[in-house]
C-alpha cells in the first residue's frame, strides 16, 4: 500500500484518472447535483435570467457565468444543468494546474481533489454551493507567496462564503508571511463590512455568537462528532491523525490546537443544526486546515496512505448516498407523469415524504424544470402549502395563481410572462388545482 501511495499518487496518470472520474460523476449525476434544494433554485434563476447570487456572495458569479452564457446561447435545459454541475470542478482543476505549474507544489493537488471526495457525500449533491469556491480560493490562499495574490485569494474566498473565515485564520498561522496573511484576511472582512450588506442568513448565524449555551448538548455537536468514527466524517479524523504524525514539535501543537478550535467554532455557530447537506457544507472548511500538512510533508508515506484511504472512504459514501438521489429523481418523475397535460398543482407539504425526497422546499422549481426537460409541451409544477392554507382556499372557492408561478414559501409569486418563454412557454396559465 505504501509503495502504491508514494509512487502512484504523485504520478500525472493517477491525478488525471481521479479528475476524469470526478468529471464523469458530475456529468452522470448532473440532474441530481443541480435539481435539489438550493441548486434547483439557482438553476431556475439562471434559466430565467433572474439574479442568482444569494446573500451577496459575489464570487459565485464565477460558478454561474458559464451557465448564464449557455442560456444566452439558447442551449437546452439539460445542457445548462450539466454546465452548472461541471463548472465548480473546472475551477478546482484550474487551481490544481496553478498550484502544480505556477507554485511548483505537486502535492497540494490532493487538497483540491479532497474538496469533492472528503467533505461529505450530501455536500457533493449541492452542485452550486458557494462553499466549493470558498475552499478552492482558500486553498490557493494557503500556499501563495506573492502579496498581491494573497490578498486576491483571501477576498475571493471570503466573498464566496464567509464560513471559510475560521479556516483561513487557522491556515495563516502556518505561513512564513503570517502577518500579511492576517492583514489580507482583515482587509477582506473590513471591505465586505463597508461595501456589502450583511445578509439576513448571516445575521442569524452570527447571533449564535451571543447565544452562550452548552455546545456539547447541541444537535450540531451530535451530528458531526458521532460521524467521526465510521460515518461520513471519518476521513476528517483520519487526515487529522496523519497530520499529527507528519508535524513535529511546535507545529504539531499548533496543528492540534488550531484544528480543534476550528471544529469547535464551526459547531458553536451551527449548533442549532440543519439538513445533512447544509451541515456537511458548514463543516467543509475543516478540510483546509486538516489537509495543511500536505504542503510541508511531501515525503511522508503514512500521510499519503491515510489520504488514499480517506479518498476511498469518501467515494464509498458518495456511491452509497447516490442511491437516495437516484431514487428521489425517479420518484419525482413518477409524481409528474400521471398528469396528461400541463398542470399547476397545490399539494400538501407532506405529499413529498422527507424519507424519499429529503429537503422539499424547492419542489416547485424542481418539478417545473424537470417536467419541461421530459416534455416541453407538458410542464408541471407543484406548489406546497400547509393544511390551513388548503382548507381556506377550498372554503373560499377562489382561484389561486391564474397566470402565475408560485415557488418557495419565501418567494413572491411570479407572473408567467416573466419566465423565460423559450423554456417555459408551455406552462398552463390556469389557476392552481388543489390536490
Beta strands in 62-118 (DSSP E): none
Residues 344, 297 share a domain:
no
Residues 342, 319 share a domain:
no
Query: Cell numbers at residue 277, please?
Result: 447537506
Neighbours of 307 (CB within 10 A): 27
Residues 365, 405 share a domain:
yes
Structural domain includes residue 156: yes
Residues 54, 178 share a domain:
yes
> What is the pTM assigned to this prediction?
0.92
Structural domain includes residue 205: yes
Helices 234-246 and 301-337, packing angle to 10 deg: 160
pLDDT at 246: 81
For the CA atoms of 83, 85, 87, 90, the dihedral, rounded to the nearest 10 degrees, stands at: -120
User: Tens digit of pLDDT for each residue in 231-257?
Assistant: 888 889 988 988 888 888 888 899 999
What share of the chain has pLDDT > 90, as a percent?
40
Query: Cell numbers at residue 96, please?
Result: 490544481
Residues 104, 227 share a domain:
yes
Instruction: Report the distance separating Cα 185 and Cα 249, nearest Å.
Output: 27
Q: Kindly state the average pLDDT of the residues 127-143.
A: 93
pLDDT at 347: 87
Residues 342, 314 share a domain:
no
Task: Single out the residue in 272, 295, 323 at which a domain terminates.
Answer: 323
Structural domain includes residue 430: yes
Structural domain includes residue 249: yes
Residue 377 has pLDDT above 50, yes or no: yes
- Is 11 or 202 the better-scoring residue by pLDDT? 202
Mean pLDDT highest for which of 152-166, 329-343, 369-383? 152-166
Task: Single out the residue in 270, 288, 323 at which a domain terminates.
Answer: 323
Residue 308 has pLDDT above 80, yes or no: no
Residues 215, 156 share a domain:
yes
**The domain containing residue 186 runs over which residues?**
2-323
- Is 318 or 156 the better-scoring residue by pLDDT? 156
- Rounded to 5 degrees, what are φ and ψ at 126? -105, 75
Residues 411, 291 share a domain:
no
Q: Kindly state the average pLDDT of the residues 163-173.
A: 92
User: Tens digit of pLDDT for each residue in 79-115?
Assistant: 999 999 999 999 999 999 898 888 777 778 888 999 9
Residues 415, 295 share a domain:
no
Residues 425, 357 share a domain:
yes
Structural domain includes residue 333: no
Residue 224 has pLDDT above 60, yes or no: yes
Structural domain includes residue 99: yes
Structural domain includes residue 331: no
User: Tens digit of pLDDT for each residue in 388-409?
Assistant: 777 777 777 777 788 999 998 8
Task: Single out the residue in 323, 347, 368 at which a domain terminates.
Answer: 323
**First vs last C-alpha separation in the chain:** 58
4 — pLDDT class (breaks 50, 70, 90): very low
Q: In what order do the strands lie in the sheet with 380-385?
A: 380-385, 343-348, 433-434
Q: Which residues contact 312 (CB under 8 A, 6 or more apart)?
A: none
Residues 258, 207 share a domain:
yes
Structural domain includes residue 332: no
Name the domain count of the chain: 2
Residues 210, 283 share a domain:
yes
Residue 21 has pLDDT above 70, yes or no: yes
pLDDT at 83: 97
Amino acid at each position: 500500500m505504501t509503495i502504491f501511495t508514494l509512487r502512484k499518487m504523485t504520478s500525472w496518470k493517477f491525478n488525471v484518472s481521479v479528475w476524469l472520474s470526478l468529471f464523469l460523476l458530475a456529468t452522470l449525476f448532473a440532474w441530481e447535483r443541480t435539481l435539489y434544494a438550493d441548486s434547483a433554485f439557482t438553476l431556475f434563476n439562471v434559466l430565467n435570467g433572474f439574479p442568482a447570487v444569494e446573500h451577496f456572495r459575489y464570487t459565485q458569479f464565477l460558478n454561474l457565468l458559464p451557465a448564464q452564457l449557455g442560456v444566452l446561447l439558447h442551449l437546452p435545459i439539460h445542457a445548462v444543468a450539466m454546465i452548472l454541475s461541471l463548472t465548480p470542478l473546472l475551477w478546482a482543476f484550474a487551481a490544481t494546474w496553478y498550484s502544480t505549474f505556477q507554485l511548483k507544489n505537486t502535492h497540494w493537488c490532493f487538497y483540491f481533489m479532497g474538496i469533492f471526495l472528503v467533505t461529505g457525500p450530501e455536500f457533493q449533491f449541492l452542485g452550486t454551493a458557494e462553499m466549493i469556491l470558498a475552499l478552492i480560493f482558500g486553498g490557493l490562499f494557503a500556499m501563495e507567496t506573492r502579496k498581491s495574490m494573497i490578498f486576491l485569494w483571501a477576498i475571493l474566498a471570503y466573498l464566496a462564503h464567509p464560513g471559510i473565515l475560521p479556516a483561513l485564520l487557522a491556515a495563516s498561522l502556518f505561513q512564513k508571511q503570517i502577518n500579511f496573511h492576517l492583514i489580507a484576511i482583515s482587509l477582506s472582512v473590513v471591505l465586505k463590512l463597508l461595501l456589502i450588506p450583511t445578509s439576513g442568513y448571516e445575521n442569524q448565524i452570527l447571533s449564535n455568537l451571543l447565544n452562550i449555551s452548552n455546545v456539547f448538548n447541541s444537535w450540531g455537536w451530535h451530528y458531526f462528532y458521532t460521524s467521526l468514527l465510521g460515518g461520513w466524517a471519518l476521513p476528517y479524523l483520519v487526515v487529522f491523525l496523519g497530520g499529527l504524525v507528519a508535524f513535529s514539535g511546535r507545529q504539531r501543537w499548533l496543528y492540534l490546537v488550531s484544528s480543534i478550535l476550528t471544529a469547535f467554532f464551526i459547531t458553536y455557530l451551527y449548533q442549532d443544526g440543519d439538513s445533512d447537506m447544509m451541515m456537511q457544507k458548514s463543516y467543509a472548511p475543516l478540510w483546509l486546515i486538516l489537509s495543511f500538512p500536505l504542503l510541508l510533508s511531501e515525503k511522508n508515506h503514512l500521510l499519503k496512505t491515510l489520504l488514499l484511504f480517506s479518498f476511498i472512504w469518501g467515494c464509498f459514501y458518495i456511491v452509497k448516498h447516490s442511491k437516495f438521489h437516484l431514487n428521489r429523481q425517479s420518484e419525482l418523475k413518477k409524481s409528474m407523469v400521471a398528469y396528461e397535460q400541463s398542470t399547476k398543482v397545490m399539494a400538501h407539504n407532506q405529499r413529498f415524504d422527507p424519507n424519499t425526497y429529503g429537503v422539499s422546499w424547492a419542489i416547485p422549481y424542481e418539478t417545473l424544470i424537470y417536467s419541461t426537460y421530459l416534455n416541453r409541451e407538458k410542464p408541471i409544477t407543484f406548489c406546497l402549502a400547509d393544511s390551513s392554507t388548503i382548507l381556506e382556499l377550498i372554503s373560499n372557492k377562489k382561484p389561486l395563481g391564474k397566470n402565475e408561478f408560485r415557488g418557495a414559501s419565501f418567494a413572491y409569486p411570479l407572473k408567467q410572462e416573466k419566465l423565460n418563454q423559450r423554456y417555459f412557454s408551455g406552462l398552463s396559465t390556469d389557476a392552481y388545482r388543489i390536490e
